[in-house]
Amino acid sequence: MDPYKHRPSSAFDSPFLTTNSGSPVWNHNSALTVGSRGPILLEDYHLVEKVAHFDRERIPERVVHARGASAKGFFEVTHDISHLTCADFLRAPGVQTPLIVRFSTVIHERASPETIRDPRGFAVKFYTREGNFDLVGNNFPIFFIRDGMKFPDLIHAFKPNPKSNIQEYWRVLDYFSHLPESLSTFTWLFDDVGIPQDYRHMEGFGVHTFTLINKAGRVRYVKFHWKPTCGVKCLLDDEAKRIGGDNHSHATQDLYDSIKAGNYPEWKLFIQTMDPEDEDKFDFDPLDVTKIWPEDIIPLQPVGRMVLNKTVDNFFAENEQLAFSPSVIVPGIYFSDDKMLQCRTFAYGDTQRHRLGPNYLLLPVNAPKCAHHNNHYDGFMNFMHRDEEVNYFPSRFDPVREAEKFPIPSNIITGKREKTVIEKEANFKQAGDRYRSWAPDRQERYISRWIHHLSDPRVTYEIRSIWVSYWSQADKYLGQKLASRLNVRPSI
């Protein structure tokens, strides 16, 4: 056997037990001692290795999106959008690309129930011929904040109280009472869709505005939408309590059971596109991640379908070590000036390097499936065997070259350095529009959830008044109902 071609895998299992270094183990149940009752000897290498490895089985938990489940499948292009992008995996109808998806909750720990009212992560890793593309989104099309500077504070507010380790919504309502930009996202979180029935009946969104670039270099802003073919279904509060009390992994089990039964989950991919020259024509900023693009103005365009037809082989290897980052893109897709997206392009890769190490992209689940080459050498846990003598570029001893140039946005940006907010905040209109689109019973459930949380004894009269004022500006009648039931007056 060529030792340099051997890759650790269950396929190479010995018929008998061994140490990590391959030495046979003839007794796996007893430590080496002085006599049958004597002290344990430190020279028992197998005992030391076994216990020491067990002590290190857990890697750092994700700060957010710790609770999740993954599945594998493919993406197939169904509609031609080659006039919009030069991305190879979108080059023509019929093209299929392997992928892996991770669904998750955001706030709570790795073993938390999947019935908690919380945004859900919806992250897709496409293994394309031009490298990986990570579309890292949520089940809400928008987000609470528009500037990444606020993200650590947002998560701290949602996370459990650092003193008691209990999630307490007075902290959430206190923090967001300073941020009316969050209103539209609360119309998703406190709506019925705040608790999806399971992962199969859940929408997904790229959330941010990205850019598509075609071969001629023409740029279009784009938003991505995943629509489940089996429809969107949610759990009401009492249902969530009942199901969560019976099985705190119900969504993961539903995903795996469906795939094993051949009832493969499927989503259709749609996009919205906009000419950057038109971005000033709206009463909101199209790059503001707290805003949707109205579909009656910017319609959805079909692109393809995603089918999940295989469960993961190992949960740790293909879920815990699975790592995403919005910075992982391919030619034909690029970023926009969305402030939150700009921050996430750094933050996600940084957290993976902390969690998994600098070579996390060498792990099989994260590595590209196409040929790749660079001079990123060594570092902790680098297990790639390389025998090159030249680890720099350029060199006359190495024929490797730079790839062919591909187009990226070339718009000219001018302005002064400053820390400021965007001009078109428009914090209330879309929140009110969404509330008014609901049936009366759905509106009533939404109001009841707000009454419940605003009635917390730790929520002060001032904070209640601010929230009533915010919702009054979104919808006058919503504000009046909240004010009446809470016995407060708007503060603004």
Q: Which residues are catalytic?
A: 65, 138
Q: What secondary structure, in 3-state letters, does 386-425 show?
A: CCCCCCCCCCCCCCCCCCCCCCCCCCCCCCCCCCCCCCCC
Cα-based distances in Å from 297 to 167, 206, 294: 39, 19, 6
What would the DSSP string read from start to end of 231-285?
A: ---B--HHHHHHHHHH-TTHHHHHHHHHHHTT---EEEEEEEEE-GGGGGGSSS-
What would the DSSP string read from start to end of 106-166?
A: SSS-TT--TTSSS-EEEEEEEEEBTEEEEEEEESSSS-S-S-GGGHHHHHHHHSPPTTT--
47 vs 31: CA distance, rounded Å = 6
Cα-based distances in Å from 265 to 13, 212, 268, 306, 308: 33, 27, 11, 8, 6
292 vs 426: CA distance, rounded Å = 12
Q: Which residues pair with 274 in a beta bridge?
A: 221
Instruction: Tell me whether the omega of the peptide bond preceding residue 162 falls within 30 degrees of 0, making it cis.
Output: no
DSSP state of 382: -
State the Rg of the chain over Cα.
Answer: 26
125 vs 72: CA distance, rounded Å = 10
Angle between the N-to-C axes of helices 169-176 and 461-474, in degrees from 0 to 180, rounded to the nearest 10: 60
DSSP state of 492: -
Largest CA distance in the chain: 85
Q: Which of 114, 353, 128 is nearest to 253 (CA)?
A: 114
